[in-house]
Chain A
Amino acid sequence: MLPVAGIVAAGLLPAGRLDLAAVLETLGRPFVMQVAWFTLWQAVVSTLLTVAAALPGAYLLARFEFPGKRVLGALSIVPFVLPTVVVAAAFLALLGPRGALAPLGIRLDQTIWAILLAHVFYNYAIVLRIVGSVWAQLDPRLEDAARALGATRWAAFRHVTLPLLRPAILSAASIVFLFTFTSFGVILLLGGPHYATLEVEIYRQTAHLLELRVAATLALLQMVALTLLLLVYARLQERLAVGLRLMPARITARQPRGAREKAFVAANLLFVAVLLGLPLAVLVERSLAGSAGYGVANYAALFDAGGRGGLFVPPLEAMRNSLVFAFFATALAVILGLLAGAVIGYRRGAIAQGFDALLMLPLGTSAVIVGFGMLLTLGGMAAGLRTSVLLIPIAHALIALPFIVRSVAPVMRAIDGRLREAARVLGAPPAAAWREVDLPIVSRAALVGAGFAFAVSLGEFGATIFIARPEAPTMPIAVFRLLSQPGTLAFGQAMAMATLLMIVTGVAVVLVDRFRAGSIGQF
């Protein structure tokens, strides 16, 4: 809460007293309108493109059995959890000035296309998972019934399946919208100087122009917009809740039959491979490409303690920082998340709901707001905390907290209270009943949440960029700095560092995904 309060204070009370005129004056500047408008329309377009791109994939996963389906399901989530700098680096590797397509004359960096593509890449898995899991559990006989009543395939889809999927689609779309609305790293790295969302502008005003008051006003605008969005989203969820009779997915999926279906499956797999696989493959390729042909020169440069490559510290140091921060952030987030989950999961009524909404705030307010808020609030506080190495783990834990709560609270809520009763009737005292029933069930979910928290912390960029000390960068910060430097070696090192970051987060997330049976939880 403190960071948010800090922003409110800085935005509304610049000289220690309420100054609405200054706020309005700032909001009235033409560039603010431009930034706000761009933020909005790029989010709308990104969302529409993502939904359109992912629906066929969702159908594929829901209705067809094919070799490698499990692997595809697990891999498709990797982009979603990749750090923004890795995604940006991957698209630079593909479309940038030193990119793989540059020799063909294709350069899309610093254009809206790169941003949109990266957003589709990033959020594809959200739509795929959310819509796909509902689709997989829809009774296919509903469509059969429509066909038997004389509907064509298309009419059956339009009048039966689509309306039943609409809540899932809207739910997925609003999450994508939320993420693209608050997109920071992708736009900062791919958009060049021409494109700025509210978040990017907050960063520029703070870091380049030192206009903290303007930045705070923009942050306020962003927070108001996000709050409205979340309210609309909650309303939508309520209104759209349809009582669906869901059935186990394995019954509804079958082998593709006939040439058309096989072609559909193949085309879809090819599309996924190109969309999700190509940028990452090219990232790895670029990281291996040096001035003297392919090799591990870039990696060697990273591990060479002497060569600082323009960073203030050896790159290895950044990796160590990231892992240590991620460890502490995860521990902190798990402890807080379990406590918060218990409040939400076991209590009912207004208090739990309010608390639930409060905990969603960091997810809604976005990392940049958290980082900026911490910068503002702690600027006036004890210098000890401001420069403390604890600051980054705390910020990361705050950002990761909703992931933990979201994976733990529904599980806690879903535990049949009678299981505890059964344990008590069989002779377990209350504490033992909790330990025997709740703990084993919750700890799985907590482990999944912890994996996500770890991945989030490793890749966190938006908040860290505000509060990281120059001499203690994390891996994403290092990638960002390397990318902002001229020279082939810096670019190669950035590619290598981004590849390492991708591998570490990817492994963490695939491991986590193996652990859980269902979809990406609820958030």
Chain B
Amino acid sequence: MLELDSVTVRYGDHAALDAVSVAVADGERLSVLGPSGAGKSTLLRAVSGLEPLAGGSIRWRGRDLAGVPVHARGVGLMFQDYVLFPHRDVAGNVAFGLRMRGDRPAAQRARVTEVLEMVGLRGYEPRRVTSLSGGEQQRVALARALAPEPELLMLDEPLGALDRALRGRLLDELSELFARLALTIIYVTHDRDEALALGDRVAVMRDGRIEALARPDELWRNPPSEWVARFLGLGGIVAASIDEQGRASGVLGEIQLPPPLPPVGDVRLLIRPDALRLDEHGDHRATVVRRAFRGDDVLLRVALAGSDAPLEVKVDGPAPALGDEVRLSIDPRRVVVLPHN
């Protein structure tokens, strides 16, 4: 188990990590999601020992890592844009960690062949890393990190620099590989779909703190704050106030929320696309302001009459045109109450 206890890292006055506590179980995959500058990379650097801690502690399998130098920690770190050694060929890059721990040349070669095969680069040993495509470099970096068989593998935006189609394919491959190797993994990304697809749990970071930490489905269903809901792009958010009977009133008129009774007072309501339906008898009038055909369905962005908060609704089959007036009905069971912050 990897345990971070109030870990703080400072750059000057700025706290890049602000008392972060999280525990990752053996074999667990933790996705770390957040906007740039949230402290995601700093988290990985702190665990690998590249950033000194200003406070807190990091324990790996019960042992405090303070005072253990970077090279002795035995963690695998795959850097953002890979940081391959430009003066070494593919084999030289992949074998580096093996050489550093003193493996015999024959053992190094065997392991290099094995990991290159694992990442789908059989026979790439003598290639220059500068001549590789982005996707190939990514695989070499992964092979280099995996070669010394680390028990904890950390990846910093491993797919960030690649184009969309390649990303989708590599995401599947990574997912398969991780499942096969049963490693403990920390996966840093700014891409929501990657984080949700790869993580057993997802930590959402903001300004050096962990803002949310939950399983992907939980996070999706019940985001803990308005900021997280917005960052995940879950849907439209409108203001409302709730009375003792659980009625929410606001720009959406009055909605009776289902039990359990939500807290009384001013809140935000998250109206996800699945809570809305085009309905010619619906209570709410809106105008279509954007219309995006997405293959399986059409995503409409609509502006409610008397409100500037846009909502999103999915339509299968024929969809209204841009500028059309539509009527909507809301499924109260799917409305999420967010704490107002």
Q: How far is the CA of A437 from the CA of B71 in the complex (A)?
A: 14
- A413-442 interface code vs B (CB 8 A; 1 in, 0 out): 000101101111111111011001100110
* Interface bin, chain B: 20 to 34
Q: For residue B50, which residues in chain A have a CB less than 8 angstroms away from its CB?
A: 421, 424-425
Q: Are the CB atoms of A419 and B96 closer together than 8 Å?
A: no
Decide: A426 near B83, CB < 8 A? Known: A421-B50, A436-B96: no
Q: For residue B79, which residues in chain A have a CB less than 8 angstroms away from its CB?
A: 418, 421-422
Which residue in A418, A427, A437, A441 is a CB contact (below 8 Å) of B74?
A: A427
Q: Are the CB atoms of B96 and A426 closer together than 8 Å?
A: yes
Q: For residue B214, which residues in chain A have a CB less than 8 angstroms away from its CB?
A: none
Decide: A432 near B75, CB < 8 A? Known: A421-B50, A425-B50: no
* Minimal Cβ-Cβ distance residue in B for A440: B87
CB proximity of B332 to chain A, nearest CB, Å: 51
Q: For residue A432, which residues in chain B have a CB less than 8 angstroms away from its CB?
A: 71, 100
Q: Are the CB atoms of B97 and A426 closer together than 8 Å?
A: yes
Q: In this assembly, does B101 line the interface, its C-beta being within 8 Å of a C-beta of chain A? A: yes
Q: How far is the CA of A436 from the CA of B171 in the complex (A)?
A: 32
Q: Is the interface of A mostly helix, strand, loop or mixed?
A: helix
Q: How far is the CA of A422 from the CA of B129 in the complex (A)?
A: 15
CB proximity of A59 to chain B, nearest CB, Å: 28
Q: How far is the CA of A423 from the CA of B75 in the complex (A)?
A: 12
Q: How far is the CA of A113 from the CA of B228 in the complex (A)?
A: 76
* Minimal Cβ-Cβ distance residue in A for B100: A427
Decide: A425 near B70, CB < 8 A? Known: A418-B79, A432-B100: yes
Q: For residue B77, which residues in chain A have a CB less than 8 angstroms away from its CB?
A: 422, 425
Q: For residue A441, which residues in chain B have a CB less than 8 angstroms away from its CB?
A: 86-87
Q: Are the CB atoms of B148 and A418 closer together than 8 Å?
A: no
CB proximity of A366 to chain B, nearest CB, Å: 36
Q: For residue A426, which residues in chain B have a CB less than 8 angstroms away from its CB?
A: 71, 96-97, 100, 144-145, 148
Q: For residue A425, which residues in chain B have a CB less than 8 angstroms away from its CB?
A: 48, 50, 70-71, 73, 75-77
* Minimal Cβ-Cβ distance residue in A for B69: A429
Q: How far is the CA of A437 from the CA of B86 in the complex (A)?
A: 9
Q: In this assembly, does B85 line the interface, its C-beta being within 8 Å of a C-beta of chain A? A: yes
CB interface residues, B 65-114, toward A, < 8 Å: 69-77, 79, 83, 85-87, 96-97, 100-101
Which residue in A418, A421, A427 is a CB contact (below 8 Å) of B101?
A: A427
Q: Are the CB atoms of B71 and A418 closer together than 8 Å?
A: no
Q: For residue A419, which residues in chain B have a CB less than 8 angstroms away from its CB?
A: 83, 85
Q: Are the CB atoms of A437 and B85 closer together than 8 Å?
A: yes
Q: For residue A436, which residues in chain B have a CB less than 8 angstroms away from its CB?
A: 85, 96
Q: How far is the CA of A427 from the CA of B72 in the complex (A)?
A: 6
Decide: A422 near B85, CB < 8 A? Known: A427-B100, A432-B100: yes
* Minimal Cβ-Cβ distance residue in B for A427: B100
Q: How far is the CA of A340 from the CA of B145 in the complex (A)?
A: 35
Q: Are the CB atoms of A424 and B71 closer together than 8 Å?
A: yes
* Minimal Cβ-Cβ distance residue in A for B95: A426
Q: How far is the CA of A430 from the CA of B50 in the complex (A)?
A: 12
Q: How far is the CA of A305 from the CA of B277 in the complex (A)?
A: 106
Q: Are the CB atoms of B96 and A423 closer together than 8 Å?
A: yes
Decide: A422 near B87, CB < 8 A? Known: A427-B74, A428-B71, A429-B69: no
* Minimal Cβ-Cβ distance residue in A for B96: A426
* Minimal Cβ-Cβ distance residue in B for A424: B70
- B178-194 interface code vs A (CB 8 A; 1 in, 0 out): 00000000000000000
* Minimal Cβ-Cβ distance residue in B for A432: B100
Q: How far is the CA of A427 from the CA of B70 in the complex (A)?
A: 7
Q: Which of A422, A423, A430: most chain B CB closer than 10 A?
A: A422
CB proximity of A25 to chain B, nearest CB, Å: 57
Q: For residue B97, which residues in chain A have a CB less than 8 angstroms away from its CB?
A: 426-427
CB proximity of B9 to chain A, nearest CB, Å: 15
Known: A421-B50, A427-B100. 4 other contacts (CB 8 A): A416-B83, A419-B83, A424-B70, A429-B71
Task: Report, nearest first, the 4 A-B pairs whose CB atoms are least far apart.
Answer: A426-B97, A427-B100, A424-B70, A425-B77
A residues touching B (Cβ–Cβ < 8 Å)? 416, 418-419, 421-430, 432-433, 436-437, 440-441
Identify 21 residue pairs between A and B in the complex whose beta-carbon atoms are under 8 Å apart, listed by A's number. A422-B77, A422-B79, A424-B70, A425-B48, A425-B50, A425-B70, A425-B73, A425-B75, A425-B77, A426-B71, A426-B97, A426-B144, A426-B148, A427-B72, A427-B101, A428-B96, A428-B100, A429-B69, A432-B71, A433-B71, A436-B85
